[in-house]
Amino acid sequence: MKTISISRIISRYFLVLILTACFLSFFAGKSGNNKSYIYLGEFNEGFARAKNGEGWFHVNQEYKPIYSKIFSDVGNYSEGVAPALEDNVWFHINTKGKAVYEKRYYWVDIFSENLAVAVEKDENGVEYYFHIDHNGEPAYSERFDEASSFKNHRAKVSKNNETFFISSSGQRIK
């Protein structure tokens, strides 16, 4: 039976801590315009999510911000737009950081197959899921308890403890 001493365990623990600190400092140190980033995401459509001490925004592949606006949160770019959170509501922005529609939602996801999941809350705090188009308009009138993004022209949704697939017009696929 092989035994490992306490000092060996402690030294391995500190080695892992040092390697983790080096890894995190490498990614936190990515900068553009002389600004360090607390977080730097993966690149999608040529842009990455980034966070500094002020908030969230997007950077280009040179790690430079692509617009001057700072948001409470942002999502990845997909189909030319990205989710953004401002004043506790979500909407989509273009690559200039401008809203692409007026409507605001409790939450929105990235676009997939020209539709994005959106969530609204009623006066009782109940969440309703559905899909919106690039104009921020609902793609159909039905509301669901849960909804996923479209893939292969269908999205999985749930309503009243039943899960099924719908088309982009909100019709159940059999």
d(CA 122, CA 116): 20
Q: How confident is the model at residue 18 (pLDDT cuts 50, 70, 90)?
A: low
- 107 plus 154 within the same structural domain: yes
Domain contains 3: yes
- Predicted model pTM: 0.80
- 121 plus 56 within the same structural domain: no
Domain contains 174: yes
Domain contains 86: no
- 4 plus 64 within the same structural domain: yes
- 59 plus 5 within the same structural domain: yes
Domain contains 23: yes
Query: DSSP letter string over 43-106?
Result: EETTEEEEE-SS-EEEE-TTS-BSSS--BSEE---BTTBEEEEETTEEEEE-TTS-BSSS--BS
d(CA 164, CA 155): 8
Residue 152 has a pLDDT of 97
DSSP classification of residue 20? H
Domain contains 5: yes
CATH code of residue 108 = 2.40.10
Residue 34 has a pLDDT of 42
Each residue's pLDDT tens digit, 45-78? 999 999 999 999 999 999 999 999 999 999 999 9
What is the amino acid identity at position 19?
A: L
Under 8 Å between Cβ of 84 and 71: yes
- 110 plus 66 within the same structural domain: no
Residue 164's Cβ-count burial label (10 Å; 0-12, 13-18, 19+) is middle
Each residue's pLDDT tens digit, 88-138? 999 999 999 999 999 999 999 999 999 999 999 999 999 999 999 999 999
What is the mean pLDDT of the segment spanning 156-161? 98
Number of domains comprising the chain:
2
Domain contains 173: yes
Domain contains 94: no
Tokens standing for residue 45: 């459509």
Write out the residue range of the structural domain in which residue 156 sits.
101-174
